[in-house]
Chain A
Amino acid sequence: MVMKGPISFTLNGGGVTVNTEGDRTLLWVLRTDFALTGTKYGCGEGFCGACTVLVGGNAVYACLTPLKDVANKEVLTIEGVARYGELHPLQQAFIDHGAFQCGYCTSGMLLSAIALLREQPNPSRDAIVSRMDRNLCRCGAHQRIVAAIEATARRRIVSP
């Protein structure tokens, strides 16, 4: 028996409340109820990482996260990463390094990278590669993604 009820949380800095079944996944609540389509469906099984968002600062797979698990927590999606039109340094680095091709994995890659750099502001290259392993890319932008994250961490000036 599924219970419908109000669930409140912070979404991209703003308080929201949805009245729905708590066992719905965050992925579809975001895409359908909030029309935030930047978080992508790639597999629905927690394998590809295309649906990665931050909950309480931690990178999670939205396709496996029940809505009730985000009650009273802070949720960050790709739409909330740029602030007042200003790109996050990681977003700018992705552009500067050409760290995307089709772009379908990019939202998930960025959220994972944000969580990584919050935990480890100066990670080794190996640490970056190892952490980003949970996000799949089928186009082959891996090297440039790692370079963009590393450059951001090292605060290097990039000349494309």
Chain B
Amino acid sequence: MVGGGIVVLIGLNAATVVSEEPGHFYPKDFNAYLVIGKNGRVTVFSGKIEMGQGVLTSQAQLVAEELGVSLTSIDMVLGDTDRCPIDMGTFGSLTTRMFGPVLRAAAAQARAELLALAARKLRVGPDRLQVVHGVVSVVGQPHRQVSYGELAKGASIVRTLRGEAILRSASQFQVMGTSAQRLDGREKVTGAAQYAADIRVPGMLYAKLLRSPSHGATLQQLDTSVAEQLPGISLVNRDGLIAVLHADPEAAEEGLRRINANWQSPVGKLDPDSIHEHLVSQAAPLKTVALRGDVTAARAKATRIFESTYQKGYVAHAALEPHAAVAQIQEGQVTVWASTQTPFPTRDRIAKALGLESARVRVITPFLGGGFGGKSADQQAVEAARLAQMTGKPVQVAWTRAEEFFNDTFDPASVVKIVSGIEADGKISLWDYSVYSAGERGAVACYDIPNASFRSNRPSSPTVRFFRPPRSRTRS
């Protein structure tokens, strides 16, 4: 209701649910995002995962606020491809901005439907009702009440209302905008929180993979005869995958140590010192991202010109938890627990690698011990799934720190060149910006510089380019 503030109307219509991926829409049915059990507990489903950035709690805050339930009555199900709305993944600081409005709208619609149900049950107009912690009551007559649990009973809520639900305004916020205690606190401080390498299933084998000493190396000679002598060991050497497996991870590690392999490594031509010159000299042509004013004229007119070159090296993501995954295949259905930021793309990659339909694969995302953008390639999940298929046993792949550095999809090395200028009044009049090898995201300066050129030799990924914030209507 309006109380002199701004009211934002939002609905799960096509414009609102345009997600980060072109052509992909989040579900329009609010029941895809939440279900209220008979006991009043609210289960929320989201494809966004928790890796320390706090979205387990913040997404719960969004729902608690709009639905009118207490934060601690919410159970979050994150990154389970069987249960959660399809999602491109968790990265780019996009969860709150892009998925947040969708989740709020779903919760607001659910609340509106529950109020309508309560109004019929309590035989009173919905405008005479209030919701406190999931209990609907008649204002001024608290004994006339019904709980969300009694109304929903764990089933889907039928959509009866047309139009858009009203979102709560900032002045009304009781849960959003507060420093809520993280919902995963108790699990994490007691050691109960599960990460992928903590997952064990009956009959599981631990796998250690033979890695080449450098990328692009070719295997010249392989002798596994000594490794094979270890009791309980099994070996896989198929389709480029060479692995030692054992029911005990240390025995698998010992088996790996006993493998004799000779490799031919390519001669490296680049190193951390030569990479930047290489990037610039080999760069694809720069393309203009944005242009303002007249850069050439501004350069001539400037009282002082500055020319700077900035170099950034490859940076390892170095999450404290190395990549890990457990894969289990039962009756043709594949279940993979994976430390991944991208459970849905992981599912598709695994399905492709195994020659299966995506519907046969379920990815479940436990807590991640950090991601920082480095857990989106899912190599370890595919390794575990392939080994599970080859051996017929559940398999855990958990990378060592050395493997973690070796297999990292590094934050890219890049070069930025800026020619800038100021005029006599000290204001920046010229900004000629070029970025090599790092995409164009963030390249366009937000400052009011009259003559500017922004160029990049690499387009950003299509997901960012098609970014459109949800359209919303406001009324004050």
Contacts and interface: CB of A to CB of B under 8 A. Distances in A.
Contacts of A94: 185, 189
A31 to B, nearest CB: 8
B181 A110 contact: no
B398 interface: yes
Contacts of A39: 191
Interface stretch (B6-14, B51-59, B277-285): B51-59
B184 A103 contact: yes
Contact of B182 (A28, A77, A78, A98): A98
Interface stretch (A44-52, A116-124, A125-133): A44-52
Given A24-B250, A32-B249, A103-B52, A95 B186 contact: yes
B52 A87 contact: no
A102 B369 contact: yes
B188 interface: yes
B322 A41 contact: yes
A105 interface: yes
Contact of B320 (A50, A81, A98): A50
Contact of B185 (A35, A38, A100, A136): A100
Contact of B52 (A24, A42, A50, A139): A139
Given A32-B248, A102-B369, A138-B370, A38 B190 contact: yes
B401 A45 contact: yes
Contacts of A78: 190-191
Interface in B118-169: none
- Which one of B54, B190, B368, B370 has the highest number of Cβ atoms from chain A below 10 Å of its Cβ? B190
A96 B319 CA distance: 24
B401 A104 contact: no
A95 B249 CA distance: 33
Contacts of A138: 318-320, 370, 372
Interface residues of B, number: 38
A37 B198 contact: yes
Contacts of A45: 401
B44 interface: no
Contacts of B321: 40, 42, 102, 104
B301 to A, nearest CB: 44
B401 A100 contact: no
Nearest to A35: B200
Contact of A79 (B191, B200, B319, B322): B191
B368 A102 contact: yes
A112 interface: no
A95 B191 CA distance: 13
A16 interface: no
A27 B322 CA distance: 16
Interface-centre pick from B250, B372, B400 (highest chain A CB count, 10 A):
B250
The main secondary structure of chain B at its interface with chain A is loop
Given A24-B250, A94-B185, A98-B181, A103 B401 contact: no
B320 A95 contact: no
A15 B372 CA distance: 41
B182 A40 contact: no
Contact of B51 (A38, A102, A106): A102
B197 interface: yes
B179 interface: yes
A87 B181 contact: no
Contacts of B318: 138
B194 interface: yes
A95 B366 CA distance: 20
A107 B369 CA distance: 12
A101 B54 contact: yes
A91 B320 contact: no
Contact of B398 (A36, A38, A41, A48): A41
Given A35-B200, A37-B198, A42-B320, A28 B250 contact: yes
B200 A100 contact: no
A146 B232 CA distance: 46
A79 B193 CA distance: 11
B195 interface: yes
B270 interface: no
Instruction: With a 10 A CB-CB cut-off, give which of A24, A82, A103 has the most chain B CB atoms.
Output: A103
B349 to A, nearest CB: 23
A160 to B, nearest CB: 6
Contacts of B189: 87, 91, 94-95, 100, 103, 106, 110
Contacts of B401: 42-45
Interface string B194-208: 110110100000000
Contacts of B182: 95, 98, 100
Interface in A1-50: 24, 28, 32, 35-45, 48, 50
Given A42-B322, A107-B191, 14 more contacts: A37-B198, A39-B191, A40-B195, A40-B320, A41-B197, A41-B322, A48-B320, A101-B53, A103-B367, A104-B52, A105-B320, A110-B189, A136-B320, A138-B319
13 contacts: A32-B249, A37-B194, A38-B190, A39-B191, A81-B191, A82-B190, A95-B182, A95-B185, A100-B52, A100-B189, A103-B187, A110-B189, A160-B179
